[in-house]
Structures are given as structure tokens and as C-alpha cells.
Structure 1
Amino acid sequence: MKPWTLVTPASRGIGLELARRLLQTTNVPVVATARKDLDRTRENVLSGLQDVKEDRLHVLKLDVLDEQTIHDAANEASRLFPKKEHYLHLALCLPGLLFPEKAPSQIDYDDALLTFRTNTLGPMVLLKHLSPFLPRKSTTMPASDSHQLEGLPQDHATWATMSARVGSITDNRLGGWYSYRASKAAVNQVTKTFDNHLRTSAGEKAMAVSLHPGTVKTGLSKDFWGNVKDEKLFSAEFSAEKLMKVLCGRNIEDRGKCWDWKGEEVPP
């Protein structure tokens, strides 16, 4: 069986840099998604990359707020990578939206609903349509020392969803950010629930984790850059490098948990 990888979305920020990193450090095909401007996304992902075969990159339209596009992307992935010959070895699910409510009076119903639709329901619907490509107990995977798995997590496939430290209930000492905190806490619950499913369907051949990338210089965090020390404000490229190292360093006992960019567990 041959592995492939998924980065959704990959049009900018961390997703863009993760797609670029996978092309640079692995030999596997990469499916990258974007809501629009697919040609521009493809150009941005490939920009400046040396000795990368462009046919390894497949850019598909996908909007987590539109289930039909997820269904269509899954159908296209099935055409590109028939399940009899291929399996999904690494999925990076990264949708994110933030409205920073500092007090209850600032909670806006429509903004909060959009936050949950993007941050929580988005990854759930991605699971619905794309997780069937993960290996099952009967799947024959490459040996861990195979060149097919170079630069990827070894021994098992991984479904990774972007979370945040503020999604930790235990670590919540400041309050605020009601909808964002709650949506990311829900992401961690989805991760744990889905990992329980994988224990049954895939055994030790696949696991799910959540990731905390730190504070990264993307549009999501732009309004808060001034409140973060320079050494704690990361470039998207740095974050992508760190997150891939974390994923490659996880073993099957680390399943179902949230891990930060340093490889430390974020408590639930």
C-alpha cells in the first residue's frame, strides 16, 4: 500500500508551510485544499521549492462551511488514490477562526456560531468524509524503515487537528475568548472520541491527536502580536517545522491527546 498526505486548508499560514514542508522532506503525494484561488494556492505552495516533482501536489477545492465541497474533495481523493492501493498516512486539519470576546457582553451570536462551525464542526465533517481513507486493521502498511515513510510519523498513520492551549479547561486562568476557547476544547473532545473509534477500526495502525502551534504570525493572531514577546511569536515556517517534529516523535501511547509545539502535553 502506498501512503498519501492531506493538508486542509493550505492556502496560507501554517497550512501553506506544512504543505511545502511535506513536499520538501517526504516522497509522498500531498493533497492541499483551498476555498478559492486554487491556481494561486498551487503556485504559493510550490514557490521556490527545488527538486520537487510538481505532480506530487494536488490542490482541491474545499470549504469546511460547505459540506458538499468536502464530499466532492473526498470523491476526487478516491479517484487519485484508490483505496485498494493507497491509504492516508497523515491528515493535517487546520481550520481556525477567532473573535476575541473579553467579556460576556462582547459575545455575538452569529460570530460565535461561525466560530463553532469553522473550528469544531469543520473538523468533524472532515472526519466524516476523509477519515475512511485512513488504514484499517487489515491494511498492509510500509515498514517503518521504508523510504515511503521518510519524514513522516513512523509505524502508524496520524489524523491531527489544530487546537490551542486556550482550549484546555485545566489551564484556563485568565478567562475571556469564550467562543474560541469553547470551540477548541470541543476539538480536543472530538479528537479523543475519534481516537477511540480508531482503536476499534485501525488498532495501532492509526491514531488521532490535537496540536497547539504556539502564537504564530498569521491573520488569526494579528491583533495580538503586540502582546507577545518576540521569542514567543513564531513564523508559520518555524511552527510547521516544530509541529512535524512533534508528530514524528509521537508513539501510539500518545494517542487521543493534545500536544504543543515543544512536544509537551496540553492538559484537557
Structure 2
Amino acid sequence: MKPWVLVSPSSRGIGLELARRLLRTTDVPIVATARKDLDQTREHVLSGLDGVQEDRFQVLKVDMLDEQTMADAASHLKTSFPSKESYLHLSLILPGILHPEKSPTQSNYDHALQTLQVNALGPLMMLKHFSPFLPRKSTTLESPPGLPSQAVWATMSARVGSITDNNLGGWYSYRASKAAVNQITKTFDNHLKTSAGEKALAISLHPGTVKTGLSKDFWGNVKEEKLFSAEFSAEKLMEVVCSRGVGARGRIWDWKGEEIPP
């Protein structure tokens, strides 16, 4: 069985750097997604990656607000990766938007709805359409260099999604969306225990504060040593993904490999 990897989205920030890193450090097919400008995303990911086999990389249209794009992408991949010949070894689901709300009076219905749709419902619908590609108990796994020994479904969360760790308040819809991600992760991992046994697991990830468009308004409030580049974040997140075994399943892990309480 031949493994492949999904990184969604990959048009910028951490997703772009994760796709680039995986192309450099593995030899498996990489599927990236973008909401628009697919050719531009492909060009940005491949830029400067001399010697990489470009034919093992493809970019598909996926919009976290449009389930049909997910269904279409999954349908396309059934041809590229037939279930009898291949399986999804690593899925990195990374959407994120943030509308700051320091107090309840700053909450906006449309902004809150969009936050929940992109950050939580988007990953849930990705599960619906792409989790069938994951291995089952009967699947024979490979151990490709640069990837975890088991199949991993990893979804981007955030420390502020922890209810236990919430001592500051604020960011109501963003916190709620990431808490939902953690619940989705745990629930899906329970499903994987039945369908895949120890051959696949689900985790949530916290990348730290990364210098991307999502956190731009808050760079000034973060110590320089705590403000990470997207390249550094991609490196650390892959270290976490590759070092977590089945004992880590269903839980939330930060970029240092430390568990965040739910």
C-alpha cells in the first residue's frame, strides 16, 4: 500500500511551509489545497525546491466554506489514490480565522458564524470526505522516511481552545471554535480506534504564536523569542506529529510536544 499526504490549506503561512517541508523531507505524493489561485499556490510551494519531483505534488481547490469543493476534491483523489493500492498516511487540516472580541459587546453574529464555520465545521466536513482514505485495521502500513509510523489526522487548534487553561477570557468565538476542534478530534479518534486500531490516530496541534496574517494584530504584544516564523513552526509541528505514538491519541499537543489540557 502506497502512502500519501494531505495539507489543507497550503496557500500561505504554516500550511505552505508544511507542504514545502514535506516535499523536501519525504518522497511520497503530497496533495495541497487552496481556496483560489491554485497555480500561484503551486508556484509558491515549489519555489526554490530544486531536485523535487514536481509530479508527486498537486494542488486542488478546497474552500472551508463550501462543502462541494471538498466532495469534488475527494472524488478526484479516488482516481489518483485507489483504495486497494494506497492510503492517507498524514492529514494536516489547518484552517484558521480570528475576529478579536475582548468583551461580549464586541461580538458580531456574522463574524462569529464565519469563525465557527471555518475553524470547526470546515475540519468536520474534511473528516466527512477525506477520512475514508485513512487506513483500516487490515491495511498494511509503510514506514516512509520523514513521516510518523502510524497514520495521523492532525487538526490545527490553539491553546486558547483549552477550557481548563482559560484564565484571561476574551476571544469568545475563536476560543469556542478551537474548543470544538478539540472535541471533534477526540470524538474522531474514538472512531479510529474501532476502524483502524493502532494504525491511525487523531490529534490537535497548537503552533504557538506564528508570524502570519492571522496573528498580525498581536505581534506587538508577544516577546520576540515567542513569535515564530512559519518555517520554524512547520519544523516543530512535524517533530511533534512524527514523535507522537498511539499513547498521544485524541489529545492536544503544542509545538514543544507538551500536552495542553482540554
Report the TM-score when normalising by structure 1.
Answer: 0.97
**Separation in 2, partners of 1:97, 1:168:** 17
Q: How many residues align?
A: 262
Aligned partner of 1:198: which letter? L
Q: Counterpart in 2 of 1:207?
A: 201
- Secondary structure at the counterpart of residue 60 of structure 1: strand
Distance in 2 (alpha carbons) for counterparts of 1:188 and 1:35: 24
Give CA-to-partner distance per residue, 1:52-77, whole Å, 9 cap, x none. Answer: 00001010001010000000000111
The aligned amino acid for 2:231 is E
Matched letter for residue 223 of structure 2: K
Q: Distance in 2 between matches of 1:56 and 1:44?
A: 16
Aligned match of 1:17: 17
| Corresponding residue SS for 2:135 | coil
Tell me how far 1:140 sits from its aligned partner.
1.2
Instruction: Give the CA deviation at 1:50.
Output: 1.7
Identity %: 75
- Over the aligned positions, Cα root-mean-square deviation in angstroms equals 0.5
Which TM-score applies when normalising by structure 2? 0.99
Q: Which residue of 2 aligns with 1:176?
A: 170
The 5 A counterparts of 1:42-191 are: 42-142=42-142, 144=143, 149-154=144-149, 156-191=150-185
Q: CA deviation at 1:176?
A: 0.2
Report the alpha carbon displacement of residue 165 of structure 1 after superposing the two structures with TM.
0.2
User: How far apart, CA to CA, are the structure 2 residues paired with 1:25 and 1:50?
Assistant: 13
Q: CA deviation at 1:141?
A: 1.2
Aligned AA (1:150)? P
Query: Cα deviations across residues 135-194 of structure 1 (Å, max 9, x unaligned)?
Result: 00011112x4xxxx100001x100000000000011100000000001000100000000
1:225-261: CA deviation from partner (whole Å, max 9, x where unpaired): 0000000000000000000001111011100000000
After TM superposition, the structure 1 = structure 2 runs for residues 221-240 of structure 1, keeping only pairs within 5 Å, are 221-240=215-234
Quick one: distance in 2 between partners of 1:49 and 1:266?
34
Runs of 4+ in 1 over 3 A off after TM superposition: none
Question: Counterpart in 2 of 1:265?
Answer: 259
Unaligned residue ranges in structure 1 (runs of 5+): none
Name the amino acid aligned to 2:255: W
Q: Which AA in structure 2 matches 1:98?
A: L
Distance 2:170 2:199 in 1: 39
Aligned residue in 1 for 2:242: 248
Task: Tell me the amino acid that sits aligned with residue 230 of structure 1.
Answer: E
